[in-house]
Amino acid sequence: MEKNRLQPGFWRIVDNDYIATFSIYTIGTLWAVYLIFKVFALEFRDESFYLILSAVLTVLGGAVLAWRYWRIRAFFAKGERTRGKLVKTDFFRSTGWLEYDYTLKGKRYHRKETVHRNPRTRALKEGDLVWVVFDPQRPERAMLADIYEEKG
């Protein structure tokens, strides 16, 4: 085990964390639809409602995105690292699930993490040794460090 030193950046979190990815896609999609209607002078059934809905969902999506960013960075800041083993990978469309095991003080832990499907997450294979960041106070809480940290 070692104390974690690296902090994931904003775009690394957005690219790998499923909730953060969904939040930013939602915000982008809402405003893209609005702009398409405006640019092509398409008729809105109720433009003011869509504009208000887009603004409210942008604020909510931004709050969720900020919350995920803060939570993940705080987790990495207080967490410690250990080695683990990837035991299963599963992907469907834009979603992935990475299952891994790690052992601390003789106790084996198993985690399943929902991630955004991208080249970094797809590159991981069953049987790979991975770095895991875990909460020293609650070691059953962990995140797969390899997808959030720069290789180096």
Prediction pTM value: 0.80
Return the pLDDT at 35.
84
Q: pLDDT tens, 124-133?
A: 999 999 999 9
Return the pLDDT at 10.
92
Q: How far apart are the first and last CA of the chain?
A: 19
Return the pLDDT at 46.
74
Euclidean distance between CA atoms 104 and 113, whole angstroms: 19
Phi, psi of 94 (to 5 degrees): -95, 5
Task: Tell me how long the chain is.
Answer: 152
Mean pLDDT of 31-45: 81
Q: pLDDT tens, 40-61?
A: 877 777 778 888 888 999 999 9
Euclidean distance between CA atoms 12 and 14, whole angstroms: 6
Q: What is the DSSP letter of 123?
A: T
- Percentage, residues of the chain above pLDDT 90: 67
- What token pair was written down for 14? 């957005």
Three-state DSSP at 29 gives helix
pLDDT(150) > 80: no
